[in-house]
Amino acid sequence: MTTLTKAPAVEQPPVQKKAPSGLFDPKMLVSSLPDALRKLDPRVMVKNPVMFVVEVGAVASTVIAFTDSTVFVWWIVVWLWLTVIFANLAEAVAEGRGKAQAETLRRAKTETTARRLTDTGEEEIPAAQLQLGDLVVVEAGQIIPGDGDVVEGVASVDESAITGESAPVIRESGGDRSAVTGGTKVLSDRIVVKIMTRPGESFIDRMIALVEGAARQKTPNEIALNILLASLTIVFLIATVTLPTFATYGGVHLSVVILVALLVCLIPTTIGALLSAIGIAGMDRLVQRNVLAMSGRAVEAAGDVNTLLLDKTGTITLGNRQAAEFIPVAGVTDTELADAAQLSSLADETPEGRSIVVLAKNGYGLRERHTGELPQATFVEFTAQTRMSGVDVDGRQVRKGAAGAVSNWINSHGGTSDARLGEIVDGISASGGTPLVVAEAVGGTARALGVIHLKDVVKAGMRERFDQMRAMGIRTVMITGDNALTAKAIAEEAGVDDFLAEATPEDKMALIKKEQEGGRLVAMTGDGTNDAPALAQADVGVAMNTGTSAAKEAGNMVDLDSNPTKLIEIVEIGKQLLITRGSLTTFSIANDVAKYFAILPALFAAAYPGLDRLNIMQLHSPETAIVSAIVFNALVIVALVPLALRGVRYRPSSASAMLRRNLLVYGVGGLITPFVGIKLLDLVISLIPGLR
Amino acid sequence: MSDAAAGLLQVGLLVACLAVAYRPLGGYMARVYTSESDLRVERGAYRLFGVDARADQTWAVYARSLIAFSAVSMFLLYILQRVQSHLPLSLGLPNVESGLAFNTAASFVANTNWQSYSPEATMGHLVQFAGLAVQNFLSAAVGITVAIAVIRGFARSKTDRLGNFWVDLTRTVLRVLLPIAVIGTLALVAMGVVQNFSGGHEVTSVVGQAQTIPGGPVASQEVIKELGTNGGGFYNANSAHPFENPNGLSNLFEIFLLLLIPVSLTRTFGLMVKDKRQGYAILGVMGTLWAAFTFAATFFEVRGNSLEGKETRFGEWASALFASSTTGTSTGAVNSAHDSFTPLGGGTALFHMMLGEVSPGGTGTGLYGMLILAVLTVFIAGLMVGRTPEYLRKKITAREMKLVSLYILTTPTVVLVGASIAMGLAVARASIFNTDSPHGFTEVLYAFTSAGNNNGSAFGGLSANTPFYNTALGIVMLLGRFLPIVLALALAGSLAKQQPVPVTQGTLPTHKALFVTMLVGVVLIVTGLTYFPALTLGPLAEGL
């Protein structure tokens, strides 16, 4: 068997994976400008109907400006183009952040050669030529040439290129830790990898495509919103194009430039400009948390999740059970029991054994002893037959183990097991814990000393998170292989809504299907091959990066950190994405009211002086009013880019509370802000010479 | 008693009467449309027309049946007008000219009842009761069937069936409209409305002129005119005519009739989707809008102290109450001349129609129109709570939004494009009486708004019995009626297929005050934003 050697120092500096995020960097506006200008191509613009209308209006106004060359017309023309450019800029900035990450990934995917195993030996070929099912050898210091499963050997692998985590991980054949990713580096030992993906479809290729946004498709909700925005655009287009005949009757002549300005102010440019940036940024926020969503659809579905299936171990509880308490039988002191428990666990390297030593030290002040301090001691290892472990030292035998096994041992060593011992054991079992009985035999007579209470330790803060989930309307179900009694106790302690005990993969699948039949959306995490069907069935299936290829293939997200708790964050990101869209749509539509009050009196007050009473902002002149409205309309896009990229503030709460808050901020705020903004802009713009 | 006290008393009495009728009628209609058994007369009718009463239709078949039925109705009504001189009971009136006959047929089949003619001088008794009155029943019933199908779309799941149009239609006429109409007729006759087959009475007017006032089956027509939110009067003066609406009591009763079914249908809706609170919420939105517009109309009329064009027996309060209720229900009956309202009072009536007839709207049309706006509101509000939007446990996806978007696009498009063409054509401008004043534009805008929203009330001052207006308004009425109906049915079909999603803490509650407020806001802003430029050039230019 190969032995593991300590991983050599990583040569290349740990890859800085996280692109500057969170705060919006104004410098990115400048660096994204070329991209923004490239996007002016009408073939690209037409995909965004709202902004396409603005661009068409800008072109028409520009043509007119050459014949009707006034300061006013040129101001409108310039700001119409700026409106389009700002929209493109928002998208370019959002994409730019992904490009930085893609660059890092590309570096990891350097041209590698693969050592392919053939019938006769091995040959060196470029990694790009590897086919499905090829077997390749990778040794310490070499880059793994493609995605696959380890079929032979065990090695430590540096996966920092994709996870950003510099600590090496173990990959071994068989089991759930067999998957390796192309572009990662073997640090020690030799493994044989069976290639599982076709060239160009590897994990890293998909990752690059994802973060660059190349694979981005409009998500279902984005499409629905786009339809609404397009229809609002058409309604306002009709309201605008029918206006000249109405106005002519009153003796008002409306120029094309003014009509374009009115139209651009009315159509939902704010949300139209930011919609795709919001989507890209949402995916990006997931990538920042080391989660790769294979589709935007999955991210949206995450926001809708009704039921979360969470594995108990590692997600709700710490990985292993821990000693919580020593309960002595009558006539034995706490310290005696703790001492015996510690003694019996010194050679026990299992996490449970370590936790007993730790409890003895922390709870009972017993100094930790090392096996070396007791040279004459004989340690008895745990076996499946004896179901006990312990130590023989100085003629004293100490044993700990399952209640039945230890009782038998006591009986066979001339002792009798205490009836009250049974009570303690049953009590612990009933509370969901695991009892370990400690006994000793001195001079041929055995007696029970007491019981160690091993229990699952629920991670800190889980109860609060589940309470939040409940407030958001999400039901949490704990999945565990434990018996119903144990599962119930932990479920109650952690505060989950329900549990599935003694769960097999089939049970899990049945549970998902049952939930889905009720119209619920289910999210789950998984890593093993036997999780794959359930991951595929779930609406949101998050595969752990440490898991098997089959699991990663089946899920629609991969968590590079392999942290099952992250499911909760994924749900929040999904919700935040939708909330950002809805809030900015509301803001965009609410903005129109003020623009009407700016533009309509400007257009018609000359013909109908009474309409000046609509000029409640007391704007300087018709021309400054129109310019102010169009400038505000453009600037508000830039002002909201950081919000679109960051997402609106999200705090888990009930739907009613969230609606109230967002309606107040973005609805009422959207009504008032432009009145203030347009007025302030008018004060400045009225100083411009040439504009009356 | 002061005008204000009397006015408030009337409003209070009206609301109280509606409140009393709300539960029994709403519950009764819910039972009518969920019942499995047919009346004997219904079975006879089904056998006669070869209808399989138990066959459930998909949305497409439902829509096809509805369109076919309406097309046949329109054709028969057109023919009846064109040959009336050869038929009995025509009072010696000539055949109706083709443009007018088309306009009138479209108008009555589309539940608009726009009348670009003087009824007593154009239509004989036969056309009145065998043509127009029949359509008053049938077109109202068609609207209700659509509302019922849309409700079923929300209430049903995992099916592509929405019910049977023929059964819904028959039941609406026989079990809902006819019984109320019979009781209503008796009540109106008791209040002094005329009901006979008399040819006319010679009277000498106060200034000494000889005048012939025809009698006729007025009360029976009057009831269904209001009850079915039709609005086509027996007399040109409509509900301002003392034979149609003799006194304050009959006036209040007529307002009650036109609000009765649209209001009670929200109860039917709540019962059929098994969540009465949803019905109350929709009623809350309709009620808020109706109250706001009634207040505004009353405020402007009382402030303007304008009795021109109003009957002194009604005064400003009862006239404004009638105007607000008739424009909010797509009825179009009038007890005063909206043209003579103050500019802002008339503008309020105009804007009320522009909302899309949802406060509380026409029979059926009001409910499905409001439900569509609720879906739109849910879409925006739902996003703001971080979920794919859902309404009544149905998800609002791209397909639903496509239909909703087209729906809200249709009416403004036909209204504004129609008005724009009219204002652009010299021949159409020639019909305007008040030239060179914003009032003239308001008259045209009012006509197209009234036609597009299937209201039917007229602003006057516009000579609409011309080939242009008869054709244009006829087309606008048909498009404004049947395009939304097809879209609403398609939406219902799409919703019915869905698997309902469970209600959780994360679900947007659509029965609370917050949602009601937001829906009111969306109705006002979405329609307000669309029409605001046009309104600026009309009533606002005149009134500010």
Q: Is the pLDDT confidence value at B216 over 50?
A: yes
Q: Which chain A residues are closer than 8 Å to B438 by Cβ?
A: 250, 608
- Contact yes or no for B199/B265 (Cβ under 8 A): no
Q: Which chain B residues are closer than 8 Å to A589 by Cβ?
A: 380, 525-526, 529
According to the model, what pLDDT value does residue A371 have? Answer: 67
Q: Which of A81-90, A207-216, A601-610 has the lowest mean pLDDT?
A: A207-216
Q: Is A348 labelled as part of a ligand binding site?
A: yes
Averaged pLDDT score across all residues of chain B: 93
Tens digit of pLDDT for each residue in A231-268?
999 999 999 999 999 999 988 999 999 999 999 999 99
A239, A471, A655: residue with CB nearest B533: A239
User: Considering the domain boundaries, does residue B10 fall inside one?
Assistant: no
DSSP-H helix ranges across A472-529? 484-494, 505-517
User: For A508-518, what is the mean pLDDT?
Assistant: 90
User: Considering the domain boundaries, does residue B314 fall inside one?
Assistant: no
Contact assignment for A228 to B533 by CB distance below 8 Å: no
According to the model, what pLDDT value does residue A12 have? Answer: 38
Same-domain check for residues B217 and B118 = yes
Tokens of B27: 């519950």
Number of domains in chain B: 2
Q: How far is CA B97 from the centre of its chain?
A: 26
Contact assignment for A520 to B541 by CB distance below 8 Å: no
According to the model, what pLDDT value does residue A324 have? Answer: 87
Domain end among B227, B244, B274: B274
Closest residue in A to B438 (Cα–Cα) = A250
User: For A164-174, what is the mean pLDDT?
Assistant: 76
B380, B387, B401: residue with CB nearest A303: B387
Q: Which chain B residues are closer than 8 Å to A475 by Cβ?
A: 504
Going by DSSP bridges, is the β-strand pair A113-117/A122-126 parallel, antiparallel, or unpaired?
antiparallel
Contact assignment for B529 to A592 by CB distance below 8 Å: yes
User: Which among B376, B384, B404 is the top mutation candidate for probing chain A, defined by the most A β-carbons within 10 Å of its own β-carbon?
Assistant: B384
Domain end among B248, B274, B300: B274
User: For B267-284, what is the mean pLDDT?
Assistant: 97
Tens digit of pLDDT for each residue in B449-507?
999 999 999 887 889 999 999 999 999 999 999 999 999 999 999 999 999 988 888 88
- Contact yes or no for B177/B157 (Cβ under 8 A): no
User: Which among A659, A661, A665, A666 is the top mutation candidate for probing chain B, defined by the most B β-carbons within 10 Å of its own β-carbon?
Assistant: A659
User: Considering the domain boundaries, does residue B327 fall inside one?
Assistant: no
Q: Which of A98-107, A129-138, A665-674, B194-203 has the lowest mean pLDDT?
A: A98-107
User: For B523-540, what is the mean pLDDT?
Assistant: 91
Q: B320-336: b or e for each residue (b if 16 or more CB lie within 10 Å)? A: bbbbbbbbbbbbbbbbb
According to the model, what pLDDT value does residue A5 have? Answer: 41
B72 class by beta-carbon count within 10 Å (0-12 exposed, 13-18 middle, 19+ buried): exposed
According to the model, what pLDDT value does residue A686 have? Answer: 93
Greater confidence, A586 or A332? A586
Tens digit of pLDDT for each residue in A533-592?
888 899 999 988 777 778 888 888 888 887 777 888 888 899 999 999 999 999 999 999
User: Considering the domain boundaries, does residue B324 fall inside one?
Assistant: no
User: For B179-185, what is the mean pLDDT?
Assistant: 96
According to the model, what pLDDT value does residue A165 have? Answer: 67
According to the model, what pLDDT value does residue A206 have? Answer: 75
Greater confidence, A321 or A332? A332
Q: Is the pLDDT confidence value at A217 over 60?
A: yes
Q: Is the pLDDT confidence value at A183 over 60?
A: yes
Query: For a pLDDT cut of 70, what percent of chain B falls above it?
Result: 100
Q: Is the pLDDT confidence value at B55 over 80?
A: yes
Closest residue in A to B423 (Cα–Cα) = A245
Q: Give the residue from A555, A558, A557, A548 showing the smallest Cα distance to A147.
A: A548
Q: B145-171: b or e for each residue (b if 16 or more CB lie within 10 Å)? A: bbbbbbbbbbbbeeeebbbbbbbbbbb
Tens digit of pLDDT for each residue in A61-97?
999 999 988 999 999 999 999 999 999 999 998 888 7
If you search the block for the tokens 């002149």, which residue do you land on?
A621
Sign of the four-CA dihedral A547, A552, A555, A557: positive
User: Considering the domain boundaries, does residue B3 fall inside one?
Assistant: no
Q: Is the pLDDT confidence value at A420 over 60?
A: yes
User: Considering the domain boundaries, does residue B169 fall inside one?
Assistant: yes
Q: Quote the CA–CA distance of B268 and B255 in Å, as a whole number.
A: 21
Residue A561 a catalytic site member = no
B397, B405, B423: residue with CB nearest A220: B397
Q: Is the pLDDT confidence value at A1 over 60?
A: no
Closest residue in B to A471 (Cα–Cα) = B505
Greater confidence, B3 or A15? B3
Same-domain check for residues B258 and B394 = no
Interface pTM (ipTM) of the complex?
0.94
A375 class by beta-carbon count within 10 Å (0-12 exposed, 13-18 middle, 19+ buried): exposed
Closest residue in A to B387 (Cα–Cα) = A304
Cα A660–Cα A664–Cα A665 angle in degrees, nearest 5: 120
Identify the band that residue A483 occupies on the pLDDT scale cut at 50, 70 and 90: confident
If you search the block for the tokens 């310039």, which residue do you land on?
A78
B388, B396, B505: residue with CB nearest A472: B505
According to the model, what pLDDT value does residue A19 have? Answer: 41
According to the model, what pLDDT value does residue B213 have? Answer: 80
Tens digit of pLDDT for each residue in B288-307?
999 999 999 999 999 988 78
Contact assignment for A667 to B521 by CB distance below 8 Å: yes
Query: For a pLDDT cut of 70, what percent of chain A falls above it?
Result: 94
Q: Is the pLDDT confidence value at A605 over 80?
A: yes
pTM, rounded to two decimals:
0.87
Identify the band that residue A214 occupies on the pLDDT scale cut at 50, 70 and 90: low
User: Which among A222, A225, A229, A235 is the top mutation candidate for probing chain B, defined by the most B β-carbons within 10 Å of its own β-carbon?
Assistant: A235
* Single-letter amino acid, residue B134: V
Domain end among B228, B245, B274: B274
Q: Is A531 labelled as part of a ligand binding site?
A: yes
Identify the band that residue A198 occupies on the pLDDT scale cut at 50, 70 and 90: confident
- Contact yes or no for A400/A347 (Cβ under 8 A): no
Which helix H or strand E contains B27, and what residues bound it?
helix B3-34
Domain limits at B512?
361-543
User: Considering the domain boundaries, does residue B315 fall inside one?
Assistant: no
The torsion angle over the Cα atoms of residues B93, B99, B103 and B108, rounded to 10 degrees, is 40
Closest residue in A to B396 (Cα–Cα) = A224
Q: Is the pLDDT confidence value at B247 over 80?
A: yes
Contact assignment for A574 to B386 by CB distance below 8 Å: yes
Which domains are delineated in chain A? 26-98+211-286+572-686 (no CATH), 131-198 (2.70.150.10), 304-316+459-560 (3.40.50.1000), 324-457 (3.40.1110.10)
According to the model, what pLDDT value does residue A164 have? Answer: 65
Q: Is the pLDDT confidence value at B317 over 80?
A: yes
A241, A246, A656: residue with CB nearest B512: A656
Q: Is the pLDDT confidence value at B202 over 50?
A: yes
According to the model, what pLDDT value does residue A311 have? Answer: 81
Contact assignment for B383 to A582 by CB distance below 8 Å: yes
User: Considering the domain boundaries, does residue B195 fall inside one?
Assistant: yes
Q: Quote the CA–CA distance of A544 and A551 in Å, as a whole number.
A: 8
Sign of the four-CA dihedral A586, A591, A593, A596: negative
If you search the block for the tokens 């310290």, which residue do you land on?
A335
Size of interface A-B (CB pairs under 8 A): 214
According to the model, what pLDDT value does residue A6 have? Answer: 41
Largest distance between two CA atoms of chain B: 75
Contact assignment for A659 to B412 by CB distance below 8 Å: no
Q: Which chain B residues are closer than 8 Å to A578 by Cβ?
A: 383, 386-388
Contact assignment for A236 to B505 by CB distance below 8 Å: no
Contact assignment for A614 to B508 by CB distance below 8 Å: no
Catalytic hit among A158, A205, A311, A592: A311
Q: Quote the CA–CA distance of B362 and A544 in Å, as a whole number.
A: 57
Same-domain check for residues B381 and B256 = no
Contact assignment for B413 to A590 by CB distance below 8 Å: no
Same-domain check for residues B251 and B365 = no
**Which residues on neighbouring strands pair with residue B202, listed in sequence order?**
B212
Q: Residues 6 or more apart from A318 whose CB is under 8 A from it?
A: A456, A457, A459
DSSP annotation of B310 reads B
